[in-house]
């Protein structure tokens, strides 16, 4: 099966998921844990260790252990671990490889394609580094998705019918992100992001430890035990009002015992949480909206489990936040849903996708006229006005094409149909052609005679759903033939112009020729002969020159025709 996994490559923890029987399922490692600490330890001459085992080495061998490498992504910082050099993306690759291994063990099959999330504020270099990390881990990275967008997908917010504005409040272990998104017909746009890359649950832990460490002077190992107990207490206080912290034999024979209430925790945590206020304000200001304009506020990151944080968010945004999803897992769940959309496993949600190849119609001379360029985000609507090349034409054939080549015949035909209109002089009829790709990737082509309003709509299903290989081949072809294609397009355009001018000059001469003296008429004939000659020789440069000369030679003639027409009008 051509499945794709979804991955949340987090600063503190990473997760991997896959669509199973239509549901996003996050995969546990062999110990049953779905959260893998984003920590890597490299021992001298030993294989790298990733996850919980590496996290335990943080206190013991900090020099050969790295956490939060996400903060360094996109930089060329060399990291020395276990006597070896790594780039940040190499470390991320090790984390991704561990997730890949866990998934393959759990699923009993290979996985090779992935969607990976990144913070909305990640720049190009950081996104590229993330993609490279995925590739180094053996994945083909199908899409890099913004974390707030993934979270919104997990909350099912893509199903909101029309437009909606959403705030994603993400308070994790080490970073805080606030994003304002706008959902418009199935596509999420990031209106504003703000945050602090050094603000999170770790700050609360530190403040708590300070409070308990006061009671004694302790070495690193004792501090690690104390920290573990304090963090566990913090977690429990999200659902309990009071907990006891017991650490047997912390100080030699003496055990550690104390009580902690939620009220006390909140007093200690409040300054950290308060710091998120200014970022929320700025994001709202940048997005130029007030809290009342928001349709939903969603919570991401483990710290948002704290009742204090929920109250705080409710106060800032003037509404109760949506807490229907597991805040640790929302991003990974959304990445998995996005993966399912890409692999076709999820069908009834909107597709956040782009057109892989250009779509257009054939116009005069067999040219491809692009209406929706490749890589446009869908859904999308675009149109253009066309006319006839021959007088008294009664119908126009709309040939719908997909591809990157200049000539219609080299692109793939997707379908064709006719639109009728009232006969008129060439260039008079106006036929509007509109392409619309809906959220499901279905192309609707509409053609309308603007005079009568008669219209036809045709649905084309295969437009967006082409295989990667076919897209690659089309792109390679269009590059390979770019030069020939351009000169063929040039020739076609120039010769169409010649034909048009030759017939135009003939009828002008018939109309007002007797008003011109022989020398001028001879000059015009000579210019026409040069055009015909260039057409016969099929020489593009010569034809372009001849067209320009004929244009210059007939300036007076054209003016006389216009004058005559205007005189005729005023006589009526």
Residues that bind ligand AMP (CB under 6 A): 10, 12-13, 172-173, 200-202, 231, 234-235, 238, 301-303, 305-306, 328
Cβ 237 to ligand AMP, closest distance in Å? 7
For ligand AMP, which is the closer residue by CB, 205 or 449?
A: 205
Specify the DSSP class assigned to residue 321: P
Residues 6+ apart with CB under 8 A from 497: 547
> Is 381 a known active-site residue?
no
Catalytic residue among 3, 142, 158, 170: 170
Provide the minimum distance between the beta carbon of 1 and ligand AMP in the complex, in angstroms, as a whole number: 30
Minimum CB distance to ligand AMP smaller for 231 or for 268: 231
Q: How far is the CB of 169 from ligand AMP (least distance, A)?
A: 12
- Whether residue 147 lies in the annotated active site: yes
Contacts of 165 (CB under 8 A, 6+ apart): 180, 181, 182, 183, 191, 287, 289, 293, 294, 295
Q: Active site residue: 3, 8, 142, 353, which one?
A: 8
Closest listed residue to residue 420, CA positions, set 386, 462, 454:
454
Nearer of residues 151 and 342 to ligand AMP, judged by Cβ: 151
Nearer to ligand AMP, 182 or 266 (CB): 266
Distance of alpha carbon 557 from alpha carbon 8, whole angstroms: 71
**What is the distance between the alpha carbons of residues 15 and 335, in angstroms, rounded to a whole number?**
10
Answer whether 161's CB lies under 8 Å from 184's CB: no
Q: Which two tokens stand for residue 492?
A: 């076609």
**Contact by Cβ (8 Å): 342, 354:** no
State in angstroms the smallest separation of the CB of 94 from ligand AMP. Answer: 19
Q: Which is nearer to ligand AMP, 130 or 498 (CB)?
A: 130
288 to 281, 291, 296, 319: CA distances (angstroms) = 10, 10, 16, 18
CB of 183 to ligand AMP, least distance (A): 23
Task: Compare residues 12 and 146 and give the one whose CB is closer to ligand AMP.
Answer: 12
The count of other CB atoms within 10 Å of the CB of residue 462 is 13
Q: Please name which of 162, 143, 56, 102 lies closest in space to residue 336, comparing C-alpha atoms.
A: 143
DSSP letter at 162?
S
The residue (of 24 and 200) whose beta carbon lies closer to ligand AMP is 200
CA dist 285 and 192 (Å) reads 9
Kindly state the smallest distance separating residue 228's Cβ from ligand AMP, in Å: 11
Residues 289 and 264 sit within 8 Å (Cβ to Cβ): no
Chain residue at closest Cβ approach to ligand AMP: 201
Exposed/middle/buried for 235, CB within 10 Å: 0-12, 13-18, 19+? middle
173: phi then psi, degrees, rounded to nearest 5: -65, -45
CA distance 309 to 221: 31
Nearer to ligand AMP, 326 or 387 (CB): 326
What is the smallest separation between the CB atom of 122 and ligand AMP, expressed in angstroms? 16
Assess whether 497 carries a catalytic annotation. no
Active site residue 70: yes
**Residue 203 CB, nearest approach to ligand AMP (Å):** 9
Q: β-strands 39-41, 140-146: how paired?
A: unpaired
Report the phi/psi class of residue 28: left, alpha or beta, with left for phi > 0 and alpha for psi in -120 to 50: beta
Task: Tell me the DSSP string of 462-522.
Answer: SSS---HHHHHHHHHHHHHTHHHHHHHHHHHHHHHHHHHHHHHHHHHHHHHGGGS-HHHHH
| In the complex, least distance from residue 238 CB atom to ligand AMP, rounded to whole angstroms | 4
148 vs 301, beta carbon nearer ligand AMP: 301
The one catalytic residue among 3, 29, 70, 296: 70
Q: Among all residues, which ones are annotated catalytic?
A: 8, 70, 147, 170
């Amino acid at each position: 099966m051509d499945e794709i996994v979804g991955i949340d490559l987090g600063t503190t923890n990473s997760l991997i998921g896959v669509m199973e029987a239509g549901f996003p399922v996050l995969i546990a490692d062999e110990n049953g844990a779905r959260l893998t600490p984003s920590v890597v330890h490299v021992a001298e001459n030993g294989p790298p260790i990733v996850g919980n085992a590496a996290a335990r080495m943080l206190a013991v061998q900090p020099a050969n252990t790295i956490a939060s490498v996400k903060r360094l992504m996109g930089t060329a910082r060399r990291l020395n671990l276990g006597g070896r050099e790594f780039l940040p993306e190499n470390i991320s690759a090790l984390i991704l490889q561990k997730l890949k291994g866990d998934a393959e063990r759990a699923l009993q099959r290979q996985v090779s394609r992935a969607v990976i999330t990144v913070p909305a504020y990640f720049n190009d270099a950081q996104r590229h580094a993330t993609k490279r990390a995925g590739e180094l881990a053996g994945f083909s990275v199908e899409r890099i998705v913004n974390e707030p967008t993934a979270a919104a997908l997990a909350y099912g917010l893509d199903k909101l019918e029309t437009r909606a504005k959403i705030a994603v409040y993400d308070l994790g272990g080490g970073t805080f992100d606030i994003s304002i998104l706008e959902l418009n017909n199935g596509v999420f746009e990031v209106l504003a992001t703000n945050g602090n890359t050094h603000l999170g649950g770790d700050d609360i832990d530190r403040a708590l430890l300070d409070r308990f460490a006061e009671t004694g002077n302790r070495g690193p190992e004792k501090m690690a035990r104390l920290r573990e107990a304090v963090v566990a207490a913090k977690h429990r206080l999200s659902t309990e009002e009071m907990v006891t912290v017991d650490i047997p034999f912390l100080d030699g024979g003496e055990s550690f015992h104390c009580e902690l209430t939620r009220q006390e925790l909140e007093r200690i945590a409040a300054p950290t949480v308060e710091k998120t206020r200014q970022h929320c304000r700025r994001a709202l200001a940048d997005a130029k909206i007030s809290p009342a304009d928001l349709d939903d506020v969603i919570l991401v990151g483990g710290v948002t489990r704290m009742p204090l944080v929920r109250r705080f968010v409710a106060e800032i945004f003037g509404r109760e936040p949506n807490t229907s999803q597991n805040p640790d897992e929302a991003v990974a769940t959304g990445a998995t849903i996005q993966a399912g959309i890409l692999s076709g496993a999820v069908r009834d949600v909107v597709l956040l996708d782009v057109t892989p190849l250009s779509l257009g119609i054939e116009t005069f001379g067999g040219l491809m006229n692009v209406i929706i360029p490749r890589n446009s985000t869908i859904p999308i609507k675009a149109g253009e006005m066309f006319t006839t090349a021959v007088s008294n034409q009664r119908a126009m054939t709309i040939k719908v094409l997909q591809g990157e080549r200049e000539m219609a015949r080299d692109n793939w035909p997707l379908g064709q149909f006719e639109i009728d209109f009232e006969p008129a002089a060439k260039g008079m009829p106006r036929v509007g052609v509109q392409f619309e790709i809906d959220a499901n990737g279905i192309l609707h082509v509409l053609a309308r005679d603007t005079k009568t309003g008669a219209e036809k709509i045709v649905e084309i299903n295969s437009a967006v759903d082409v295989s990667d290989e076919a897209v690659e081949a089309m792109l390679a072809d269009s590059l390979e033939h770019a030069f020939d294609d351009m000169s063929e397009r040039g020739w076609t355009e120039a010769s169409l112009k010649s034909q048009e001018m030759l017939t135009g000059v003939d009828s002008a001469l018939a109309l007002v020729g007797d008003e011109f003296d022989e020398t001028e008429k001879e000059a015009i004939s000579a210019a026409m002969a040069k055009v015909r000659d260039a057409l016969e020789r099929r020489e593009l440069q010569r034809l372009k020159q001849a067209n320009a000369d004929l244009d210059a030679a007939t300036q007076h003639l054209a003016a006389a025709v216009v004058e005559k027409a205007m005189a005729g009008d005023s006589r009526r």
